[in-house]
Structure 1
Amino acid sequence: MLKQIFVAATLVSTLVVTGCESMPAQDNTITENLNLLQNRTWIATQIGNTPIKTAPNAHNIPSIQFDAASKRVSGADGCNRIMGGYNAGKDTITFGPIAATQMACLNNNGLDRQYHAALEKVTHYQVFGKTLKLLDHHGNLLIQYESAVQPR
């Protein structure tokens, strides 16, 4: 009887210690992913499977920035400036309503509309090095970005 109690107590204490040790690792993963996502400029390189071709000196190149302190997103859609709120977790992300300026968009082949349509479907993200992928709930690529190189 004493042996059974000892085995049960050992098993319970092992589970408690193992459970407590695994929690900070998950929190660290969330923090690491958010650190990779936030507070940098991301330049869009493709929408779905279609590459985005823009001149380096073009205005309002499709881009996005995630501000960690305010939980606000800002950037451009290929024509207009965009802004709104966001909420991100380990690999999930949701956007609040995205507002945009209303400039006349000439010769951008509907890039701004494609960009907004893709943003509306985003539910997940992945960051690997200098690449950010915004994905739908099936894991399909909606928008891919590269981290912008900041001048010194």
Structure 2
Amino acid sequence: MLKQLVIICALGSAAILSGCQSSLPSAADVQTAQSLQLLQNRTWIATQIGNTEIKKTPQAHNIPSLQFDEATKNVSGSDGCNRLVGAYAAGRDTLQLSQMAGTRMACVNNGGIDSEFNQAIAKVTHYQAYGKTLKLLDRHGNLLIQFESAVQPR
């Protein structure tokens, strides 16, 4: 009888401990949450498309930008001329942009930055976010667009 009681207690303790252990987030879950926290709920201002640096002045209104809304999983922004909207799905370092749509205004005197931006956005599969920097990358890890955070996160 005593042996059965000890075995039952041991099994019960093991079950309780394994239940507690599974509720703790894994290191991968923590890294994913940290990456998403850096990506979302900020305004990202483009500083570079491919190898081309974007020159900006304080009065510039034609600089591409993006915002990733955590609550709705929507992405919005500008290609430097037209407004953009769409949906996104993000993981620790993966980023999928979908259902992208935009206005179609005539863009003059912007050096084709809107076209370059849209071509780059279509190739995005990954991202790196650290500090005030966001890099959008293609499937080979090549830099497509680099951004700088305009404001602190909400």
So what's the TM-score if we normalise by structure 1?
0.82
Q: Deviations over 1:37-56 (max 9, x none)?
A: 00000000000111011332
- Per the alignment, residue 34 of structure 2 pairs with 32
Query: Structure 2 residue aligned with 1:139, among 138, 141, 150?
Result: 141
* Displacement after TM superposition at 1:105 (Å): 0.4
Question: CA contact under 8 A between 1:60 and 1:81: conserved in structure 2?
Answer: no
Distance in 1 (alpha carbons) for counterparts of 2:107 and 2:57: 16
Q: Which amino acid aligns with 2:145?
A: I
Q: Deviations over 1:63-86 (max 9, x none)?
A: 000000000000111111111100
Structure 1 residue runs of 4 or more that deviate by more than 4 Å after TM superposition: 19-23
Distance in 2 (alpha carbons) for counterparts of 1:140 and 1:61: 22
Listed as ranges, the matches of 1:48-127 within 5 Å are 48-127=50-129
- Per the alignment, residue 7 of structure 1 pairs with none
* Displacement after TM superposition at 1:93 (Å): 0.3
Distance in 1 (alpha carbons) for counterparts of 2:86 and 2:46: 18
For 2:26, what is the secondary structure of its paired residue? helix
Identify unmatched segments of 5+ residues in structure 1.
1-12
What value does the CA root-mean-square deviation take over the aligned residues?
Answer: 2.0
Identify unmatched segments of 5+ residues in structure 2.
1-13
Distance in 1 (alpha carbons) for counterparts of 2:55 and 2:100: 23
Distance in 2 (alpha carbons) for counterparts of 1:20 and 1:69: 26
So what's the TM-score if we normalise by structure 2?
0.81
Question: CA contact under 8 A between 2:126 and 2:137: conserved in structure 1?
Answer: yes
Q: Percent same amino acid at aligned positions?
A: 61
For 1:29, what is the secondary structure of its paired residue? helix
- Per the alignment, residue 47 of structure 2 pairs with 45
